[in-house]
Amino acid sequence: MVKYIYTYIENGQMYDKSPSFAGLLAKEGLSCEKIVTGRIGYICVENLLEKIKDAQWLVFTSKNAVAGFAYNMGEMACEGELNCDGALNGDSVMDCDSDRAASVGRELPARVKIAVVGKKTQEALRTACGREADFVSLQATGLELGKSLMNISAGKIVYLCAEVTSGSLEEAMKDYGELVKIPVYRNVYVDTYAEYGMKDYSDVSGIAVTSGISGERIKWLIDRLGESGEVSVYSIGPACSKKLVEAGVPEGRIIEACEHSYSGLVDVIKKSVGSRKRELDVEAE
């Protein structure tokens, strides 16, 4: 059976009902193994409501950012209360019920609008905060959302984000005067070489990279499997591809998904497998 490696960032506090990458690949008869490249930790933001009260827009480019924001709102709901475990009552951030999600939503400034990247982030906002997004980027990238916001927004924009971002939304909005970044989560480094360096990956046919930072953290494995020149690197989107190239991965090895999602990544792998099979059939004739 054809085998793939895929990168994965763990978030033990976020329950995700969407299909896993491994599950999507299995439906296509392909096996895979994950490499954990990071672990999500939430950042406590002091006076968060004060910092967003005059915002015209709140912007989220990932489910983790929504979860980090909801975590902070839950913590504020506990202030002054004994034995309180937050608006989420200790449950995973994305598994809270509608009443608790609504309590998070009610704390938001009344007139603030919310913009998100893609349907997954939109669903996360609905689940964790009880709010519908006012704008959803047609393409699930920070770059495209940033370009759209340049055309539709005015006033203060608060970008709820990771401690270290890809920089794509910021690049698109570099000429916007009122963009404020507030980190609400961090991607904690995992030494992938220490954890996986001794494993045998000689049977791997491709590496699926689900974020730019993950690509940087498994560059050693990309290099090791690139010695034969036959192991492709599949990128989930432009920001990820850019990070891979900056890390030293040759552009010719990178195959980028057209749709920037797990489903899009599986589709591009399927097409690559089909093309390779046809090449082998021709060679065998």
Q: Assess whether pLDDT exceeds 80 at residue 171.
A: yes
Cα–Cα distance, 157 to 180 (Å, whole number) = 6
Backbone angles phi, psi at 159, to 5 degrees: -100, 105
∠ at Cα 225 (222, 226), nearest 5°? 80
Cα–Cα distance, 118 to 139 (Å, whole number) = 7
- Calculate mean pLDDT across residues 224-233: 80
Please, which pLDDT band fits residue 274 given cuts at 50, 70 and 90?
Answer: low
Please, which pLDDT band fits residue 13 given cuts at 50, 70 and 90?
Answer: low
